[in-house]
């Protein structure tokens, strides 16, 4: 039996074409292992930084600790389907150049826009493209799920992750308080802070539920794939993972509230806190197992013939790697990977050199009638934000105080960039009541101005007006996504990725209207903006 692109040894005589193919493949082990070694070497060099970041995320972030197992699971699934892959016909294809070329484009954009997610996606596209070039469309179709499953090891973009975490914090807090009130425990919620009277519990980012949600979705996807029953049952199984993770996390927070109410704050710390997390994760797995058992017995329908491999005599990849033809499409893909590697050397040698600037320590403490007092940020926040210079000061003036914060980044490399207040505000119990884009008038008569984000936040009866914008080189930007776009453009045209976030906060004083606080913070913003070019160069 013969398959396109695979040479199998014949016991008897062979046709001339078969004999030539077999003799051509006599050097195939050397060619195969040489090509594979070259691919690993080039990918290791090109993606060294992104792979280091990825492994660090797996090691340090519990949300993605499952990432170590995903490549192993993918390899096992491909081996499990090897007979179907061989039966589909393994033949090299020029279609592999399409995802590899797209991966190269993503690499360039991710490098210049300093987005690790795009570089991870680029590596995945390279893997898919190489698989397609080696095996062809039919055989690659049999590997769609294993190759797609690799995406579960990639952390989502930081902005999306922070936004999702903030939403989950509020949902989990609400569910926890609802559970406490249901069983008769007096509890109130202010944002993500649960008030138990003498004790307050803050649902921090680590307790948002992402640690349940992301690994549980990855595990549920695998279970649904191996669950050899009708498609609708698999969809139900995967869809149930999201509400299950959110509900169980809310229940966990409620249980912590009960324990803290009975035994004090120690019940929410140390071993007890870790044990509660593990207990509810195991409980979620047990619930999913029970759901699979029930779905198996609901309705008619046997195992899916599409996903269950059928043994075929002689169809297995018995001849091993030597059976794979390393042909023109494969070498073309390796060539594009080599281009990516060369670009990585260029990126490593690129020097971002912004113009000279003054340090924020010299920022005036007397601005338009406000007298400022500089503050020192706690080390834990400095380590997280990773800026090169910052300004933090309380200005006292007409109408009340205004807090001014600016964070400057000399080079907004991957993992070191401005943090949007929109994702940080919900911490400490504050809730976003409204978010709008406004024009801050500058100059006499307000004939010129710039755009900024105006956020009204509230915690109980307390209200604050927050005004923030991003100064990126000569631009004032309000959108976090445009910040990334202009990083790409300016890195390419100006060889600069420096920039800053500017944020002003005015508390609504007792007896003061929101309009008065708005006017106060707008006046301060109009006074601060003209001073910034000396500290954040155009």
**Are 364 and 323 found together in one domain?**
no
Residue 3 counted as domain residue: no
Residue 413 counted as domain residue: yes
Q: Are 441 and 449 in contact (CB under 8 A)?
A: yes
**Are 192 and 218 found together in one domain?**
yes
Quote the number of domains for the chain.
3
The per-residue pLDDT for 25 is 43
| 357 burial level (CB within 10 Å; 0-12, 13-18, 19+) | middle
| Intervals of the chain under pLDDT 70 | 1-28, 191-192, 202, 204-209, 228, 266-273, 299-325, 346-352, 414-415, 425-429, 443-447
Residue 503 counted as domain residue: yes
Return the closest-CA partner of residue 468 out of 512, 498, 444, 432.
432
Return the closest-CA partner of residue 194 out of 252, 141, 128.
252
**Are 28 and 139 found together in one domain?**
yes
Residue 247 counted as domain residue: yes
d(CA 210, CA 267): 22
Question: What does the angle CA 79 – CA 85 – CA 90 come to, to the nearest 5 degrees?
Answer: 120
**Are 191 and 223 found together in one domain?**
yes
**Are 432 and 390 found together in one domain?**
yes
Question: Residue 431 pairs with which residues in a beta bridge?
Answer: 458
**Are 376 and 466 found together in one domain?**
yes
Residue 302 counted as domain residue: no
Residue 307 counted as domain residue: no
Q: What is the pLDDT of residues 137-178, one digit of tens each?
A: 999 999 999 999 999 999 888 777 777 777 787 788 888 888
Q: What is the pLDDT of residues 115-136, one digit of tens each?
A: 888 899 999 999 999 999 999 9
The per-residue pLDDT for 306 is 42
43 is in which domain, residue-wise?
16-155+319-348
d(CA 251, CA 192): 15
Residue 275 counted as domain residue: yes
**Are 207 and 124 found together in one domain?**
no
Q: Which of helix, strand or coil describes residue 266?
A: helix
C-alpha 220: how far from chain center? 19
d(CA 93, CA 5): 10
Q: Are 423 and 163 in contact (CB under 8 A)?
A: yes
- CATH number for the domain that contains residue 482: 3.40.1000
Residue 183 counted as domain residue: yes
């Amino acid at each position: 039996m013969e398959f396109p692109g695979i040479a199998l040894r014949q016991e008897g005589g062979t046709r001339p074409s078969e004999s030539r193919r077999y003799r051509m493949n006599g050097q195939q082990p050397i060619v195969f292992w040489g090509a594979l070694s070259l691919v690993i070497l080039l990918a290791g060099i090109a993606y060294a930084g992104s792979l280091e970041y990825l492994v660090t995320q797996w090691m340090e972030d519990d949300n993605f600790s499952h990432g170590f197992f995903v490549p192993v699971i993918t390899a096992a699934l491909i081996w499990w389907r090897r007979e179907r892959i061989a039966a589909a016909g393994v033949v090299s294809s020029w279609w592999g150049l399409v995802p590899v070329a797209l991966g190269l484009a993503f690499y360039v954009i991710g490098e210049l826009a300093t987005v690790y997610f795009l570089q991870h996606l680029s590596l995945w596209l390279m893997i898919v493209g190489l698989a397609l070039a080696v095996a062809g469309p039919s055989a690659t179709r049999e590997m769609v799920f294993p190759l797609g499953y690799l995406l579960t090891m990639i952390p989502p973009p930081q902005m999306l992750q922070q936004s999702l975490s903030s939403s989950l914090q509020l949902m989990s807090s609400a569910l926890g308080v609802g559970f406490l009130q249901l069983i008769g425990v007096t509890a109130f919620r202010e944002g993500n802070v649960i008030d138990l009277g003498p004790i307050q519990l803050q649902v921090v980012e680590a307790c948002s539920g992402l640690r349940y949600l992301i690994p549980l979705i990855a595990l549920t996807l695998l279970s649904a794939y191996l669950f050899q029953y009708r498609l609708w049952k698999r969809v139900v199984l995967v869809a149930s993972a999201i509400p299950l993770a959110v509900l169980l996390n809310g229940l966990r927070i409620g249980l912590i509230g009960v324990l803290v109410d009975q035994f004090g704050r120690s019940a929410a710390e140390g071993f007890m806190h870790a044990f509660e997390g593990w207990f509810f994760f195991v409980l979620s797995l047990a619930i999913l197992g029970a759901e699979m058992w029930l779905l198996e017995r609901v309705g008619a329908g046997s195992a899916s013939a599409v996903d269950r491999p059928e043994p075929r005599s002689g169809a297995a990849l018995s001849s091993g790697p030597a059976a794979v033809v390393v042909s023109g499409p494969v070498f073309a893909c390796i060539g594009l990977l080599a281009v990516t590697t060369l670009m990585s050397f260029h990126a490593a040698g690129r020097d971002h050199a912004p113009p000279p600037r003054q340090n924020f320590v010299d920022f005036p403490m007397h601005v338009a009638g406000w007298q400022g007092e500089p503050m020192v940020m706690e080390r834990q926040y400095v380590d997280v934000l990773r800026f090169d210079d910052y300004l933090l000061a309380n200005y006292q003036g007409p109408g009340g105080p205004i807090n001014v914060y600016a964070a400057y980044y000399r080079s907004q490399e991957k993992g070191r960039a401005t943090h949007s207040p929109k994702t940080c505000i919900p911490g400490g119990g504050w809730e976003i009541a409204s978010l709008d884009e406004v024009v801050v008038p500058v100059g006499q008569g307000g004939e010129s101005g710039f755009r900024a984000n105006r956020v009204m936040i509230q915690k109980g009866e307390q209200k604050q007006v927050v005004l923030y914008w991003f100064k990126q080189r000569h631009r004032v930007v309000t959108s976090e996504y445009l910040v990334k776009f202009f990083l790409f453009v300016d890195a390419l045209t100006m060889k600069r990725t420096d920039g800053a976030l500017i944020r002003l906060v005015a508390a609504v004083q007792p007896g003061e209207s929101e309009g008065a606080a708005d006017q106060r913070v707008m006046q301060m913003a109009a006074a601060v903006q003209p001073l910034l070019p000396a500290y954040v160069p155009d």
